[in-house]
Chain A
Amino acid sequence: MLGEGIIQGLVETARNFFGSYVDKDRLTTVQYPEERQPLPEAARVFPFLLYDGDDPVAGLRCVACQICEKECPPRCIHIDKSKDKKPDFVGKQQFYPAVFNIDVSVCMSCQICVEVCPFDAIRMDNAFELSTTDRFGGLLYTKRELAKSNEYYQQIHPTEAAECDERRAKELADAKAKATAAAAAAAAKAAQAANPAAAPESATQASKNGAAAPAPSANGSATGAKGEPAKSETKVGQ
């Protein structure tokens, strides 16, 4: 019958129209500025830099290795390496970025900087309401604007942040263990030097001797790290 197809189509339209009042699958939109759909955890927009602790300058994880700058497909990252160094989270002296700019009008949110970063220093943000009236300065993010705290990261990407924190905690523990072992070895050596007759004995013995012997200097050179002899000594003593 002529017109049957049209009627069948209208039935479908009616089904969808009335269905949209009762069926959630038929009405998937929300009234955006008032209502928002939750973002998935993996959502990514533009990169940001992570810092530990409270100070965005001292705690910045980036060591200005410039891998992300090289790997960035549209080359939107600009880094100037610092002249001096600052200690990183395990206490090793590292460079830091004197300038770290991301031009987000060029960035294409591909996440390759995050993938290649060996220091867990750059991550993807999920803030997307970034419109600005200043198209040049407003879209060039400097180090100050990019630095976000680890708490923020834990908040926006909980699973990923937990993995990252675990990895870094392990790294820190390894570094500490290494420092402890090195300190103990250095102390033992120092003790041996001070008292050549005594054979190297247990660690407690060595550390006891080490505390008496000029340990701090040995400590500093062996760990090659921070000048925190007090902390290292307590570790040695344990």
Chain B
Amino acid sequence: MSERVLDLDPVGAGDTEILEVSMGPHHPSTHGVFRMDVRLEGEKVVRLKPVFGYLHRNHEKIAEHGAYLAAIPYTDRLDYLCSMTNNWGYCLAVEKLAGISVPERAEYIRVIVSELTRFQNHAGLIGFLLQDMGASGTPLMYAFREREKILDLFESLSGARMMCNYMRFGGVRVDCTPAWLDEVRSMLAGLPKFVDEFEALLRGNEILMARTQGVGVLPRELAINAGITGPMLRASGVNYDIRKVDHYGIYDRFEFRVPLGDHGDVYDRYMMRVLEMRESIKILEQALRDIPAGPIMDPKVRLRGLRPKAGEAYGRIESPKGELGFFLISDGSTIPYRYRVRPPSMINLTILEDMCLGQNVADVVITLGSVDIVLGEVDR
């Protein structure tokens, strides 16, 4: 952390000077290459400007120069913890654009892998958040232990742990075997116990509560006005889950609840993830019970050289971080005319300054941690 004393903006009252601290881009708390320009008056934050773009990879323009199929592996690298949900968001947009239907079994497989993704993302996030607060290593280690089991399942299904490149417009790439489904079932049987333990580890911890309750409060109206989505919005008490609102895929068939927070502080956002992990387990149990046999790809769909009719489509899903949307415009050729991602991480990050103003500098770290960003998606 580099520090430099500014002689600009001297504060009238007291002897304190404004201190400008550049947190990041190489800072362990910033979850990637992300910089915050923080102005401090003593310990208090008076200004905070997020600076990002260090991981810009030209994702959208690359996708506009390749076939529709060629963009799928790039979407893996948006939010690199949740490649399955990214695939789904993109495939949903292409399916809307080209009018492709998805077979039943493929829909179920998509739900299964997406809920597993949500589970491992939330487990990982809580681990990192607690690590930011000083619970060094232990929660993160437990979270990664469970995450690894899920990633092993992804690897045996799709061939890669993180860059799965699994879904295709019109279905999924490979079918899951009964043995794989049994593995998921046996892994799933252990998950509620893990969540219980993980929650008991620090939920009631007095230090954690003192550190997180009332910190980084995001009021309900501000959250709505800023376009915040996902667990962060729900922690502020807004009942908005695209799985419930939009019923994309087959989410209307599953029974699950949408947990809601009350205060919109860091603690609520932490608990929101724990509760969502429990709901994911419920969805997984139902999906594994009901999964039918059948094809996994629409036989009519052409993966290579897909030419959707001229038009536009917006596909959105509830990714673990919020509303992940892909906007596509087709001019009738084999490559998209315009390709645009609505990244939940980035839009949720824009509100960081409002949450941090007036807080201590140490709280900036945990407020950022509770937003749940992945810089691959923020910078694209």
Contacts and interface: CB of A to CB of B under 8 A. Distances in A.
A44 interface: yes
A28 B149 contact: yes
Contact of A73 (B74, B201, B207, B303): B74
Q: Is the interface of B mostly helix, strand, loop or mixed?
A: helix
B308 to A, nearest CB: 18
A112 B70 contact: yes
The 10 closest A-B pairs by CB, nearest first: A5-B204, A110-B73, A40-B156, A73-B70, A44-B159, A42-B159, A5-B205, A12-B201, A110-B165, A9-B201
Contacts of B280: none
Contact of B69 (A16, A28, A71): A71
B158 A73 contact: no
Interface in B125-161: 138, 142, 145, 148-149, 152, 155-160
28 contacts: A2-B206, A4-B204, A5-B206, A5-B209, A6-B206, A8-B204, A8-B205, A12-B200, A13-B138, A13-B201, A28-B148, A40-B155, A40-B156, A42-B157, A67-B304, A71-B69, A73-B70, A73-B74, A109-B160, A110-B73, A110-B163, A111-B165, A112-B70, A112-B165, A115-B173, A115-B303, A116-B303, A124-B159
A237 B160 CA distance: 52
A108 B203 CA distance: 40
A108 B77 CA distance: 10
B294 interface: no
A15 B197 contact: yes
A43 interface: yes
Nearest to A70: B67
Contacts of B74: 73
A3 interface: yes
Given A5-B206, A40-B156, A42-B159, A25 B190 contact: yes
Given A2-B206, A5-B206, A42 B200 contact: no
Interface in A90-133: 108-112, 115-116, 124
Contacts of B304: 67, 71, 116
Contacts of B206: 2-3, 5-6
Interface in A1-44: 2-6, 8-9, 11-13, 15-16, 25-26, 28, 40-44
B159 A112 contact: no
Nearest to B174: A42
Contact of B145 (A5, A26, A115): A26
A8 B209 CA distance: 14
B66 interface: yes
B205 A43 contact: no
Contacts, number: 85
Interface of A: 2-6, 8-9, 11-13, 15-16, 25-26, 28, 40-44, 67, 71-73, 108-112, 115-116, 124
Interface string B161-184: 001010000000110000000000
Nearest to B76: A110
A187 B205 CA distance: 90
Contact of A9 (B148, B160, B200): B200
Contacts of A73: 62, 66, 70-71, 73-74
A65 to B, nearest CB: 12
Given A5-B209, A71-B304, A73-B66, A111 B201 contact: no
B202 interface: yes
Interface in B18-38: none
A109 B303 contact: no
A198 B201 CA distance: 95
Nearest to B141: A16
Contact of B70 (A9, A28, A71): A71
A22 B206 CA distance: 31
